[in-house]
Amino acid sequence: MSARVTVVVRSGGAARALERAVASVRAQTHPDWSLVVAVPEGGDPAPAERLAQADPRISVVRGQGRGALANAALAAAPGDLAVLHDDDGVWGPTFLEATVGHLATHPDDVAVATRAEIVVDPLDPAHPHLEVRRVLGQDEPSVSLVSLIAHNFVPPASLLIRRSVLDELGGYDEELPALEDWELLLRLAATGPVGFLGDKPLAAWHLTADAAAHADAFEHVELDLRDRYLREDLAGRAEGHRGLGGQLALAHQLRRLGQAHQDHLDAVTTDLKIELGRVRGEVLMMRETLTELQEDFVVLSDHVQDAVARTAELVGALAADRAPHRSLARRAVGRASRALRRRPGQIPGKI
């Protein structure tokens, strides 16, 4: 009797990644599963065969092409639920328990996904604490066709699919060189509702630092796929997803328009930052100049006070010689002294 969940792990050739992925499957609290390791032609099957020898629930298949390899692995273990795990995926121990339980209580859902996170592996494996984690689609409340048309935030390891629906849709597209998981997810969401367990990430998608730096590596494949769907719509050949091509094309145009606006906003922001820096520099220079002027006023005030003092002495001497002028001289010295006391640092009679 076949296990209820068929887990497919396509191996990229790295034994460490394959062992990590398989270990997360074997750690599941839900035990009813079988695992098929799919090794591409030309790849080394030895790591997969060692795992299969150690656990009878694990088998190995060979094949070519991403979609064809996934379909061949699914055909080798026909459980009534299926998930494309791959060796860059990792599960939390309750992933299967949560997703299988959801589909058991939501018979109308064609599939169910969990919240997932991207894990950028450290450049130096000796320092695993340097890994970077980021939750995918953290603002998305559900797996909606509206959101998926714009972008994919559901890595394959986070999606459990009903086998009956998968067979009805014809499995994964074998012509695509990449993004076959997103293309299948679009058809799934066009067929029926996809459940979403969004409380916390139960799956992780591991990327190398180099792959994370080139997230747009398959942009041309995405554009070709949107083009294909649009042509099928225009030719009336879009069976089961009529109108989806137009929506995919519109979403792409809106995204490009949004990016153009963002680029313009970034350019304006940069110009404003440059201008603000220039103004701040001028203000700083003005403050320095004002400080120098204040210092000059203090020095000038000291000179004026010295001059007034000397003038007072001179006037006093003159007043001693010429008594009739004593009263006038004293009044002049008094006015000058009072003015200096009222306006420290300023020249008497000036504002």
Q: Among residues 24, 191, 107, 302, which one has the least CA distance to residue 7?
A: 24
Measured at the CA of 159, the angle between CA 252 and CA 241, to 5 degrees, comes to 45
Give the model confidence (pLDDT) of 25-52 as tens digits. 999 999 999 999 999 988 889 999 999 9
Compute the distance between CA of residue 26 and CA of residue 57 in angstroms, rounded to an integer: 10
How does residue 90 score in pLDDT terms, banded at 50, 70 and 90? very high
Query: Domains along the chain?
Result: 5-214 (3.90.550.10)
Average pLDDT over residues 144-155: 91
Give the model confidence (pLDDT) of 219-266 as tens digits. 888 888 888 888 888 887 766 666 788 788 887 777 777 777 787 788
* 162 strand-pairing partners: 81
pLDDT at 1: 45
Contacts of 24 (CB under 8 A, 6+ apart): 89, 90, 91, 92, 93
pTM over 0.85: no
Mean pLDDT, rounded, of the chain: 85
Contacts of 308 (CB under 8 A, 6+ apart): 333, 336, 337, 340
Torsion of CA 268, 274, 277, 278, to 10 degrees: -120
